[in-house]
Structure 1
Amino acid sequence: MKNFIGIESQQAETLAQELNTLLASFQLHYQSLRGFHWNITGRKFFELHLKFEEYYNDALLKIDEIAERILALGGKPLHTFSQYLQHSFITENGYVSTEKESVELVAAHLSALLAAERKLMRLAADASDEGTTSLLSEYIKQQEKTLWMLRAWSE
């Protein structure tokens, strides 16, 4: 049986669950970026303060898009911090203020998000879910470039 957007209901439910895990993980990533933005110190303060703000604004847009995609699939997006903590594959970082550690954590988060997005993209392709596939394809392209830039910055 297909749902109201033409995707098999069971596949849509699985995709919505996986997208909720991605949503929760993006929320933890977002909150980490806010903390890095607020607490960064060192010679690269001005550069990283602005960069982390750029990253958290981008993450916030993705969070909204992911939640809306869950709704389009017929699911319900998670919306409490306790749910985010329970479902996220990204963990809380605590207080981080150094350039090296904060950039390494952003890179680690993006790598984890990429792995989840690639898995989800395969599920979406199997379900002929072009909406989710297209969304994730853009995220992957952008995050790969960001990882390359973070690596170049770190060398």
Structure 2
Amino acid sequence: MTKKTAATPRASRAKVGASTPAEQANGTPGVPAQGEAKADAAHLDTVHNRLVDHGYLSEEEFGTVSEALQRNLATTISLYLKFKKYHWDIRGRFFRDLHLAYDEFIDEFFPSIDEQAERLVALGGSPVAAPADLARFSAVAVPTETVRDARSQVADLVGDLTRVSKSYRDDAQTVDEANDPVTADLFTGYAATLDKIRWMLQAMMDDDRMN
């Protein structure tokens, strides 16, 4: 009678050359991102991270650029949320005009959210987007209360747009001096877009019926 062969252990039946979980990891699970904006991914000790770097920027230059990108990214997301909040809450004579206009204005600047995040990634960064982080970095506060009055909404948005567009112009100069004319060009374009939206909202406030 032929002697049965003992069952082959599961480990020995694995494909030749297959790596163990420890070998697959080949790095630590991750370390905190560095820098003021916590956006530096280039030096994370993680798997498949060797090709991430800051391109032509020095560490100091990247720190300046990443801080500006992270802050403006958070601000733009918050601006989007604020426009949507007012879009939902508006009531009264100007409901239809502003309800539609707010979404039209969002369409103007919404693409910049992804552009700023991907620019940060392309430079070796890692954008943060958790609600707490957005609130920490954003220059725009998303309202927690309900504001239905047209003039109050528009005046508030005009104030935000004035401040944010100026910040973009200032940051364009800052990142240009930090050896990043590409990001400077992006910021200049975003400033122009917000200037146009601000002008249109200001024009609406000239209507004496808006109250």
TM-score (norm 2): 0.68
* Partner residue in 2 for 1:17: 67
Structure richer in helix, relative to its length: 1
Match of 2:177 among 126, 130, 143: 126
Alignment partners' CA distance in 2, 1:78 and 1:119? 22
**Root-mean-square deviation (Å):** 1.5
* Partner residue in 2 for 1:100: 151
Contact 2:54–2:62 (Cα < 8 Å) also in 1: no
Q: Secondary structure of 1:86's match?
A: helix
Alignment partners' CA distance in 1, 2:128 and 2:150? 32
Per-residue deviation, residues 39-72 of structure 1 (Å, max 9, x unmatched): 1111111111111112223343111111111112
Per-residue deviation, residues 60-101 of structure 1 (Å, max 9, x unmatched): 311111111111222111110110011112123222221111
What 5-or-longer segments of structure 2 have no aligned partner? 1-52, 207-211
* Partner residue in 1 for 2:164: 113
* Partner residue in 1 for 2:94: 44
Q: Secondary structure of 2:147's match?
A: coil
Q: Secondary structure of 2:88's match?
A: helix
Higher RCO, 1 vs 2 (CA within 8 Å, ≥6 residues apart): 1
Alignment partners' CA distance in 1, 2:66 and 2:154? 30
* Residue 138 of structure 2 is aligned to residue 88 of structure 1: yes
Contact 1:96–1:102 (Cα < 8 Å) also in 2: yes
Per-residue deviation, residues 76-131 of structure 1 (Å, max 9, x unmatched): 11110110011112123222221111111211111121122122101111023121
Q: Secondary structure of 2:56's match?
A: coil
Q: One-letter code of the match for 1:111?
A: T
Per-residue deviation, residues 16-52 of structure 1 (Å, max 9, x unmatched): 1121111111121111111111111111111111111
Alignment partners' CA distance in 1, 2:138 and 2:54? 28
Q: Secondary structure of 2:168's match?
A: helix
Q: One-letter code of the match for 1:91?
A: A
Contact 1:30–1:60 (Cα < 8 Å) also in 2: yes
Q: One-letter code of the match for 1:34?
A: K
Alignment partners' CA distance in 1, 2:164 and 2:122? 21
TM-score (norm 1): 0.90
Alignment partners' CA distance in 2, 1:103 and 1:50? 13
What 5-or-longer segments of structure 1 have no aligned partner? none
Contact 1:34–1:52 (Cα < 8 Å) also in 2: yes
Alignment partners' CA distance in 1, 2:64 and 2:156? 29
Structure 1 consecutive aligned stretches of length 4 or more whose deviation exceeds 6 Å: none
